[in-house]
Amino acid sequence: GSSAEPQVRLQFYRDPPSGSEQLDTVQNLCLARLRLLKAVEEVGQDMIKGSKEYMERLKMKLGKLDLGASLLTTSGVHVDGLRFREEIRRDVLSHFLLRLAMCRTEDQRRWFITQETDLFRLRFQLEQNADRSRSSRFSAVAAFLSANGIHFDSLSDAERSDLAPELLAATPGIGSDAELATVAFYRAHFTEALDLVRSRRVYLRDGFAYVPETGVVSMATTRFRAHLSHQLAVACRALPYLGEDARLVPLLGAIAKNLSGDEWTAKSGGPAGVVLSGQVDQLAKTSFPPCMQHLHSSLRRDHHLRHFGRLQYGLFLKGIGMPLEEALKFWRGAFAGKVDGDKFAKEYAYGIRYNYGKEGKRADFSPYSCVRIITTNQPGQGDSHGCPFRHCGADLLAQRLQAAGISQDQAQGILTRAKDSQYQLACRDYFRAVHKLSSDHEVSINHPNQYYEESRALLLGNGQQQQSARAPVRVTKVKAAPAATAAGSQAAESDWLDETIDQEMSQVDLSAYEA
Amino acid sequence: TMCAELLPEELATYYKRLYPTHLMVQWLSYRSPAYFANREFSMTLHDDIYLRFLSYNYESEFRGALLDRRPEKIDIGAVYSCRPRDRATVSGGAFQAKEKELVIDIDLTDYDGVRLCCSDARVCSKCWLFMRIAVQVLDRALRCDFGFRHLLWVYSGRRGIHCWICDRTARQLSANARTAVIEYLSLVRRPGDKQPQQGQQQPPKCHPSVAAAADAIRRQFDDLVRQQDLFGTEDRTRALLAQLPEDLRSVADTAVASWLADPTPIRP
């Protein structure tokens, strides 16, 4: 149109694109966005999210990438109509295509949601900054929110002064009553401001959060994440019906595999041979990652582990090749002295069989990845699970490093990494230190079982390199598959979670697509 | 010490005469029979037989099942998109958990580090004070901060308490929202926990919720200190204060030093 107002670039991705595209355009777009999201992930690992350095680094990295530059352009910057429409289309199309590629498994969905949400947050903040420094009264943020039906209730001056003492006490970044009067506040149901509620950075009363204007980005991001999560679940359920297009499905599968090369799965590079319960003590010393070493030594010391410790460690042991019978033997032996045979059979054996898919839903649970261990199930008093680089204090960590025979210098480096929240990099440095490798030995730690396998490969003098985590994309041919039957695909997705039901709900069996 | 194994006959009597079947059904229906029918129950029977995805269409069926199976343990699961017992009749994606109460579980063994009268499964009226305080703190926060109104506080039977939050909003909370609620309510920092971002505030701020919790605790803290004799010995005093985070270390050391120099009894 001929309106003088700039067009809004920021997307909520509510409506799927239409029209048709060449297959190789589709492929290029998908890969371009995937590269973008990987860059988002990497910067997020190296820096504190939301910090100034993080934003600068992200802008720089994304700006260099195909698709990245156009996504970072804010709404006020004028480009001609044709180019504008083209850039919007690439944004929207690549997003929706990746939704299809990344909706299959829970890990992929979680990864996709995290990176897309971080990307959205960056773009929203850039738009906010641009709005502030714009001379005209146009607000891209307001236009975006209104175009997507998102409305936040603002507080009147009277309401704000009534609540002034509480708002002041609860809201970080505001130092005085005078300052408070200059800040706009919004009142939203607490479910709209989860990130702020979670970290107790807003005043909560009667189920409503009182959010300062700096919190609008958090609320918008919360909605974005919730919406995307829901849409991915919908996409996942719709996947079987895509079977008709025999070109699209393998492409999407290959794209997902490109990413999941970083993920450890039981099928790829599984250990040779079976691990017996009697071998664990020795293996723990030489090849277990520190998280599992700690669980193992706590188990030996206390003859017990609490629920999440048993879960994290038990699944890990399954992943290294311990079969069910050995696992039962191992745990029974480990608990001996504290728990007698009957009590063990009654209270613990079921859980172990459950993890091996022999009870209940009979799903095959995967051992937890590093990201999962770091971000979920925070350990409390008396727990031994979690990631030591994240969950241990610096003193205790230093002690453990020393006990592992790591030199002062190397330990210092590891501790710094941990302090800077670079937990997986700390673990990588730990791996290098205990295996006496040089600091440029290529390895990246994403999964405890991967740590174990890399360690075994090294110690067994396995000449050939472990298959690189970044294997080239292989496009596999898939025969047109029938729609999954009720027996094949179980309960898939729901935003909703009960810790005991989570694992049930997270498995989507689409083995028809495993080539 | 522990109660003996319950005989099936005793359980039969219990379910026949004592178990409040009608109230349970009335509660879990939330005025909708269809809602009750879609609720999952699981039961642990004698000999550790564990049955999941049980569901009942009417109170009479539920009561019949209790009398028939005489479970030693009953777990209340989620409300699903269809009757759990009919789950095989719907296609894969159609059977999913839809709603569930938010349940908070307080276990006295979490206080084993600070309660000196008992440990593990033992509970007495002295350490129950910890529980009383915890319930007061949580009840206020859940009602005043989150606006929840339908809270069911129950004794878990051994050494803990469960709070069932039954408001419709609570039942419909997403996974993310549930963890957010719990994290909002989490306060204890252990040595090694990072300091929460305070920014460059002077003086440092105390969130109203935290201040309210501190008030509730302060009202009973004298009793607690006395009953548990928390600071009665040097070792105990040091061990307790060692649980404070790094940034309070010097404050703690000064406090211990002056306390040990002159341990005055608390004025009544």
Q: Is B107 a catalytic residue?
A: yes
**Cβ separation of A486 and B88 shorter than 8 Å?**
yes
What residue of A is the nearest CA neighbor of B183?
A: A198
Q: Is B59 a catalytic residue?
A: no
pLDDT band at A43 (very low <50, low <70, confident <90, very high): confident
Report the gap between the CA of A489 and the closest CA in chain B (Å). Answer: 5
* Mean pLDDT taken over chain A: 80
pLDDT of B28-43, one tens digit each? 999 999 999 999 999 9
Quote ipTM for the complex.
0.88
pLDDT band at A475 (very low <50, low <70, confident <90, very high): very low
At A487, phi and psi to the nearest 5?
-70, -30
Instruction: Please identify among residues 455-494 of chain A the ones whose CB lies closer than 8 Å to any CB of chain B.
Output: 484-486, 488-494
Q: Which of A99, A103, A105 is nearest to A14 (CA)?
A: A99
What residue of B is the nearest CA neighbor of A163?
A: B208
Contacts of A42 (CB under 8 A, 6+ apart): A61
Per CB-CB distance under 8 Å, the chain A contacts of B49 are none
Distance in angstroms (rounded) separating the CA atoms of residues A341 and A346 = 9
CATH number corresponding to B4-99? 3.90.920.10
Query: Would you give the DSSP letter of residue A339?
Result: S
Distance in angstroms (rounded) separating the CA atoms of residues A356 and B253 = 50
Higher pLDDT: A193 or A361? It is A193
Q: Which of A261-275, B130-144, B221-235 is predicted most confidently? A: B130-144
Distance in angstroms (rounded) separating the CA atoms of residues A424 and A422 = 6
Identified catalytic residue from B10, B61, B68, B105: B105
Which of A169, A191, A492 lies nearest to residue B206, judging by beta carbons?
Answer: A169
- For chain B, give every domain's residue range: 4-99, 102-187+207-243
Torsion of CA B207, B211, B216, B221, to 10 degrees: 120
pLDDT of B80-135, one tens digit each? 999 999 999 988 778 889 999 999 999 998 888 788 888 878 888 888 999 999 99
What's the pLDDT at A227?
92
Partners of B105 in the beta sheet? B162
* Amino acid letter, B6: L
**Cβ separation of B174 and A195 shorter than 8 Å?**
no
- For chain A, give every domain's residue range: 23-134+226-260, 147-217, 279-463
The answer on pLDDT for A464 being more than 60 is no
**Cβ separation of A381 and B210 shorter than 8 Å?**
no
Identified catalytic residue from B107, B110, B167, B223: B107
Interface test with B, best of A494, A502, A503 (most B CBs within 10 A): A494
The answer on pLDDT for A207 being more than 90 is yes
**Cβ separation of A498 and B88 shorter than 8 Å?**
no
What's the pLDDT at B19?
96
Distance in angstroms (rounded) separating the CA atoms of residues A385 and A295 = 6
What's the pLDDT at A78?
81
pLDDT of B177-231, one tens digit each? 999 999 999 987 655 555 555 444 445 789 999 999 999 999 999 999 888 888 8
Per CB-CB distance under 8 Å, the chain B contacts of A208 are 147
**Cβ separation of B110 and A382 shorter than 8 Å?**
yes
The answer on pLDDT for B152 being more than 70 is yes
Instruction: Please identify among residues 296-315 of chain A the ones whose CB lies closer than 8 Å to any CB of chain B.
Output: none
Half-sphere exposure of A77 (CA within 13 A, CB side): 14
What's the pLDDT at A261?
42
Report the gap between the CA of B195 and the closest CA in chain A (Å). Answer: 12
Over residues A59-87, the mean pLDDT reads 87
What residue of B is the nearest CA neighbor of A189?
A: B146
**Cβ separation of A226 and B174 shorter than 8 Å?**
yes
Which of these ranges, A248-262, B80-94, B134-148, has the smallest mean pLDDT? A248-262
Report the gap between the CA of A322 and the closest CA in chain B (Å). Answer: 25
User: What are the Cα distances from residue B64, in Å, to B34, B47, B69?
Assistant: 19, 20, 8
What's the pLDDT at B168?
97
Higher pLDDT: A345 or A167? It is A167
At A211, phi and psi to the nearest 5?
-105, 125
Over residues A460-464, the mean pLDDT reads 58
Residue/partner pairs of B32-37 with CB below 8 Å, 24 or more apart: B33/B57, B33/B58, B35/B79, B37/B83
Report the gap between the CA of B86 and the closest CA in chain A (Å). Answer: 13
The answer on pLDDT for B140 being more than 90 is yes
What residue of B is the nearest CA neighbor of A175?
A: B201
Helices and strands in chain B, H and E counts:
10, 7
pLDDT of A151-161, one tens digit each? 888 899 999 99
What's the pLDDT at B259?
85
pLDDT band at A102 (very low <50, low <70, confident <90, very high): confident
Over residues A358-381, the mean pLDDT reads 81
Q: Is B61 a catalytic residue?
A: no
Over residues B16-37, the mean pLDDT reads 96
Q: Could you tell me the maximum CA-CA distance found in chain A, to the nearest angstrom?
A: 81
Higher pLDDT: A114 or A245? It is A114
Quick check: helix, strand or coil at residue B51?
strand
pLDDT band at A505 (very low <50, low <70, confident <90, very high): very low
pLDDT band at A191 (very low <50, low <70, confident <90, very high): very high
Residues of chain B above pLDDT 70, percent: 90
Q: Would you call A172 an interface residue with chain B, using a CB distance cutoff of 8 Å?
A: yes
The answer on pLDDT for B267 being more than 60 is no
Edge-to-edge strands, sheet with B151-155:
B102-107, B160-165, B151-155
What's the pLDDT at A487?
27
**What is the per-residue DSSP string for B67-127?**
HHH--SEEEEEEEESS-GGGGGGS-GGG--EEE--EEEEEEGGGGTTT--S--TT---TTT
What's the pLDDT at A256?
65
Q: Would you call A350 an interface residue with chain B, using a CB distance cutoff of 8 Å?
A: yes
Instruction: Please identify among residues 11-70 of chain A the ones whose CB lies closer than 8 Å to any CB of chain B.
Output: none
Q: Would you call A496 an interface residue with chain B, using a CB distance cutoff of 8 Å?
A: yes
**Cβ separation of B208 and A169 shorter than 8 Å?**
yes
Distance in angstroms (rounded) separating the CA atoms of residues A153 and A209 = 11
What residue of A is the nearest CA neighbor of B52?
A: A360
pLDDT band at A492 (very low <50, low <70, confident <90, very high): very low
Q: Could you tell me what percentage of chain A is helix, strand and coil, using 3-state DSSP and rounding each to the nearest 5?
A: 60, 5, 40
Residues of chain A above pLDDT 90, percent: 35
